[in-house]
Amino acid sequence: MNHTQILIIGGGTAGITVAAQLRKKDKKLQITILEPSEKHYYQPAWTLVGAGAFRFEDTERKEAKYIPEGVKWIKDKATDVVPFDNLVKTEFSGDITYDYLVLAPGLVMAPELLPGLSEALKKDNVCSNYIDPKKTWGILQNFKGGNAIFTQPTTPIKCGGAPQKIMYMAEEHFRNIKVREKTNVIFATPGTVIFGVPEFAKTLNKIIAERDIILKTYYAPIKIDSEKQEITFKYVNSNIQECAKNLKPAIGEELNGDTEIKIKYDMLHIAPPQQAPDFVRNSAVSLQEGPNKGWVDVDINTLRHKRFPNIFSLGDVAALPTAKTGAAIRKQAPIVSGNLYHLIKNGELDQEIYEGYSSCPLVTGYSKMVLAEFKYNNIRDSDPLISKFVDTTKEQYSMWLLKKYGLPFMYWDLMLKGRA
């Protein structure tokens, strides 16, 4: 049986960053990463790939290049976590026992949770940047007009702003290829607003109005009929009278009963439902009830497990009331590595806490971006240095340059090496 002092499940953004930071603190720590993938992807650029503004090949690198020196890599996947025994089961490598565990496996796409989506994704007019951004770009290039629908599920998803980023870029692309006048650009969201932080929502609502984008709030997708090219939404506002009142005949909305709306699409971009991996959801490390069911049960400030004191979790799999983004991990990783190191050395946690910081670089066109930074309770939390020079609540060319060039550099050369 394998034993390690610190076992990190997941060699993505969170796992690699924590491992690199721990190695910087103490090279004598015995660290093992459990990760099956040979490739590592910079997924934040997939929005740009889907709009033809970034090469997919440039988002892909070899995992081996980023495993920190001195860290053992077991190229396998976890199949079960047994926290009562400090044990993790794997597919091929047998059981691994640990003194401390860091859960950072990310989340998984679950298109099967939305009836008809798996079949629809095989069609040449349905796409998702979350799964195949190159296909999205192909569909945008061949689009001839009609209903272009962009939507997202009711489950938590990676980067909640991503479904609307591709919509803004697609809208500009449709203008560039002269099909915008015969296109209805529709953004349908189960949410109540376009964005949860008021300062950024104000700018986005203005953009939506100026570009004649049709915003549908309280629209939760419940099924797709890819043969009929039709998507059905459930209107999730308790005031169901509003449902019929807000229908737009121009886009062919059709009421089905009191709360279901059918719309035909000529192209559909959708974020699939997403959830924690099975080995997390089926383990005692996850919450078994309530709105965060299936996600890892951590303290939202220390990122330490609430019931198993030698376990920490960060990134997409942690039950945290903030956006699941790489930017959030950049602030979470120092808390996890600091707390874990302090616990090993002193038997107690460090004093630093995580306040929910996350960031959504909201690309609103081919040369514009709104840098939305916020923390718990949707409170704006913009970088004080950047804010001295730039109003990040407005569309900025400088922020577009940050997105396209600055953030990938920060990711590959600083963050994954434990320097940022």
Long-range contacts of 379-388 (CB under 8 A, 24+ apart): 379/197, 380/197, 380/199, 380/200, 381/355, 381/357
The two beta strands, 72-74 and 31-34, are: parallel
Tell me the sheet residues that pair with 3: 97
Among 102, 61, 62, which Cα is nearest to 78's?
A: 102
Positive or negative: CA dihedral 236, 373, 335, 280: positive
Alpha-carbon gap, residue 306 to 70, rounded angstroms: 30
Crossing angle of helices 162-176 and 133-142, in 10° steps, is 30
**Encoding tokens for residue 339?**
């707390």
Residue 10 vs residues 103, 200, 314, 385: alpha-carbon distances, Å: 7, 32, 10, 32
Three-class SS state of 158: strand
320 vs 20, 187, 297, 324, 346, CA distance in Å? 23, 26, 9, 8, 26
Strands 260-264 and 230-235: antiparallel
Q: Which sequence positions are flagged as catalytic?
A: 159, 360
